[in-house]
Amino acid sequence: MAELSYLEASKQAIAEEMRRDPMVWALGEDLGRGGVSGQYKGLIDEFGPNRIADTPISEAAIMGAAIGAAMMGTRPVVEMRFSDFALCAIDELVNQAAKARYMFGGQARVPVVVREPVGMRGSAAAQHSQSLEAWYAHIPGLIVILPSTPADNKGLLKAAIRCDDPVVYMEHKGLWALEGEVPDDDDYLVPIGKARKVRQGNDLTIVTWSATVHTAAEAATQLSAQRDIEVDLIDLRTLWPWDVRAVLESVERTGRLLVIHEAVKTGGFGAEIIATIAERGPRLKAPLRRLGAPRVPIPYSPPLEKLMKITPRQIVETAKVQMQA
């Protein structure tokens, strides 16, 4: 175990996988100087410019080329800088990467990992703050992962790189500096599709992912300390496939479910979770609930941006309402 940042953990994952498999390479803008947030810093020294490849500002070609290179047996890690810019490469990701294996009748595999950092951070405004994970979960063929801790950002990224399916891998921009214990193990893999129990409780199930896990954990601490409300807090970690079993087990125990995400509430993946649980018809002590951003583009000014974010206080208030229902 070592204390690493979320950023360092991802870099360790890439370095280990690149050492392990010469077919792994990374491509994206500015990677030679470390990438926009330093996620690749120093890798070029070990692996050289062919495997830590700078690219033109050509998101569509970055994705398209990665697909062709993946079909030919390499394992590209595609860096999209921010998930917002992946919108310049959606045809490639959704019409090509996600469908190639299927429409070619199983002849192709597209083992790409598409890194698309999400989320609000410091007045990044409407075109640099989006969390569109729900889109990808809706697309057959894609896997969707959103790590929330340094350890997961090692274990899930390694699992994603070893996976033969195209993976949309969404780190959160606000978590790069977060520190935590990370296993040194070269083969430390976190299984795709398994949720993580952050905190055990019997009163209210909270399901969330990415940076909001930390907001929810803070709220859970407050709820326990101030109200004796014990939250069963689940970090979903992967949206597709998602851990229905873990969520269902918890909700059957607590009778209460709150799903929280930073993304816009309307049409967010929280809806899928609520709908799936509602369809199973478990016995409930309170209506199922979601918290998410309003259906508003992310504003720039700090106090306005703050209004778009889920706060511990909101979670506490919502939980109290659910406990009273």
Partner 1 sequence: MAKAHASHNLDVDRYLSQFREMHRIRAFEMTALQAVDEKLVLGAVHPSVGQEAICVGVCDNLRRDDLLLSTHRGHGHTMAKGASAAAMMRELLGRTGGTNHGKGGSMHIADFDVGMLGANGVVAANISIAAGAAHAIALKGDDRIVACFFGDGAINRGPFLEGLNWAKVYGLPVLFVCEDNRYSATTKTSAMTSGAGAAERARSLGLNAREIDGNDIVRVDEAAREMITEIRADRQPQLLVTSTYRLLGHSGFDRGQYRPDAEVDAQWEHEPIRRCAALLKAAGVRDAVLTSIEQEAKAEMLAALEEAKAAPWPAPEIAYDDVQDVGAEKMEHAPWLS
Residues that are catalytic: 128
- Residues 177, 35: contact at Cβ < 8 Å? no
**C-alpha distances in Å from residue 61, one per residue of 48, 73, 74, 135:** 21, 18, 16, 21
Residue 91 interacting with partner 1 (CB under 8 A): yes
Q: Which does 177 bind (CB under 5 to 8 A by kind): ligand TPP, partner 1, a copy of itself, none?
A: none
Element (H, E) at 314: helix 312-324
Residue 69, amino acid: A
Binding-residue pattern over the window 279 to 318 for a copy of itself, x denoting contact by CB under 8 A: xxx----xxxxx---xxxx-xx------------------
State the Cα–Cα distance between residues 243 and 226, nearest whole angstrom. Answer: 30
Q: How far is the CB of 290 from a copy of itself (least distance, A)?
A: 6
Binding part of the chain for partner 1, among 140-148, 199-207, 219-227, 249-257 by CB under 8 A, reads 140-148
Structure tokens at 181: 């214990």
Nearer to a copy of itself, 280 or 313 (CB): 280
Choose, by CB under 8 A, the member of 200, 280, 295, 325 that binds partner 1. 295
**Gap between the Cα atoms of 140 and 102, Å rounded:** 10
**From the CB of 10, what's the least distance to ligand TPP, in Å?**
19
Q: Return d(Cα 300, Cα 50) in angstroms, integer.
A: 38
Pairing of strands 2-5, 179-182: antiparallel
Of 15, 36, 87, 163, the residue at the interface with a copy of itself (CB under 8 A) is 87
> Residue 217 and residue 222: Cα distance in Å, rounded?
9
Nearer to a copy of itself, 1 or 103 (CB): 103
For residue 124, the minimal CB distance to partner 1 (Å) is 6
For 258, counting Cβ atoms within 10 Å of its Cβ (0-12 exposed, 13-18 middle, 19+ buried), the class is buried
Smallest distance from partner 1 to CB 262, Å: 11
Residue 325 interacts, among ligand TPP, a copy of itself, partner 1, none and using kind-specific CB cut-offs from 5 to 8 Å, with: a copy of itself
Residues at the site binding ligand TPP, with contacts judged by CB under 6 A: 29, 57, 59, 81, 85, 88
Exposed e or buried b per residue across 161-182, where buried means at least 16 C-beta atoms within 10 angstroms of its C-beta = bbbebbbbbbbbbbbbebebeb
CB of 52 to a copy of itself, least distance (A): 26
Question: Whose Cβ is closer to a copy of itself: residue 43's or residue 257's?
Answer: 257
- Locate 201 and state its tokens: 């409780």
The contact set with a copy of itself (CB under 8 A) reads 84-85, 87-88, 90-91, 94-95, 98-99, 102-103, 125-127, 132, 134-135, 137-141, 240, 263-264, 266-272, 274-276, 278-281, 286-290, 294-297, 299-300, 325
